[in-house]
Each structure stands twice: as structure tokens, then as C-alpha cells.
Amino acid sequence: MSENILEDEFALFREAAKGTKKITQNTYVPKSEPRKKLQELRELKEKADIEFYFSDEYEPLLKEENEKVKYLREDVDPYILKQLRRGDFQPELFLDLHGLTREKAKKELAALILACEREKVFCASIMTGFGTRTLKDQIPRWLVQHPKIMALHQAPKEWGGDAAILILVEQPENPEKMFGR
């Protein structure tokens, strides 16, 4: 019985398709080589982004009151810095730089900023620790050189206190997430 139904359906289809002609396949399907080139370009761009050059010679004018480091990019509302100081922004990514060399720390900072851009993370925390204060003093000087850093401030106690820095990374595509709306 099922064979008859199947045969009837084929007969109906043949009747409906009567008078049509077969379409020839003339669509060009490119080889996969351009994709490889795009992948290589993407990898080169990522490598360049990760190796963002932070100068050791640059000495920014960082506002330090009571040894609390803070920075606000010129085009950013000053109230943002107050919110950052109070802990109104909750960091979504954390970077611990304990025990890293200066060069490795530079690469990790650049990778963190890149990750913030990719993941649309507005606030991140960088654990500098105390140690010899080499990284603790140098990291803010590096961060202010990056065009995506809007603000930075010594972290409130709940996010690491004096051993951490909170940063705000520019995210123009998603303003609602930036301000918690």
C-alpha cells in the first residue's frame, strides 16, 4: 500500500513538473585559498593587537592623591571616574600579573584590552600586587597610552584595593551595557 502512495506522489510530481527544463549549474564556487588568506590576515592583525607597543619612556601626568592612581581620558565625563572609584562598575574580566616580567606584562595587558573589545567588556580588573612596585608603578603609565582606555582608578577594596587597578575600555557599539541600563 505504501508503494502505491509513493508511486502516486511521483506521478503527481511528474504531472506538475511537465514542461519545465533542467537548470544548468553555472555558479562559481571559489577555492578555499581566499579563506586561508583571510585567516592569515586575521591572525596577523590579532598578533599586532596583542603586541601593542607600550613605551617605557612615556611619562604621563597621572593624578595621584594619597598614592591612589587615577586617569581620565579628556573626552570622558569626569563623573565616570567617581563611579569607578566608588566601585559602581563591576569588572567582568580579571588579569593577575603577579610574577610576570615587564615584557610579558605588556603583552598580557594588550591581550586583556583586545579581549575586552571582543567580548564587549566595559570594566576589567588588573591585579598588580605590591612586590617591588615595578609593575604597580609602570602599568598605569602603559595603560594611558592605549586609545581604548577611557579611565583607570585604584580598585576599591572589594575588587583588590591597593593591589589592583580597574580600567574602563571603550565600547561604542553597546552603550547600554556600559552604564548598566
pLDDT digits (tens, 9 = 90+) for 148-165: 899 999 888 888 888 889
Asked whether the beta carbons of 153 and 69 are under 8 A apart, the reply is: yes
- 93 φ, ψ to 5°? -125, 145
AA letter at 146: H
- Going by their DSSP bridges, the two strands 93-96 and 164-169 should be labelled as unpaired
Instruction: Report the DSSP beta bridge partners of residue 64.
Output: 69
- Has residue 177 got a pLDDT over 70? no
Contacts of 163 (CB under 8 A, 6+ apart): 127, 128, 129, 130, 136, 155
Region 36-43 average pLDDT: 75
Euclidean distance between CA atoms 44 and 47, whole angstroms: 5
Lowest mean pLDDT among 75-89, 136-150, 166-180: 166-180
Predicted TM-score (pTM) above 0.75: no
The rounded mean pLDDT for the chain is 80
Q: 35-56+69-178: what fold? A: Ribosomal Protein S8; Chain: A, domain 1 (3.30.1370)
Residue-wise pLDDT for 60-75, tens only, equals 666 555 567 888 888 8
Tally DSSP H helices, then E strands, for the chain: 6, 6
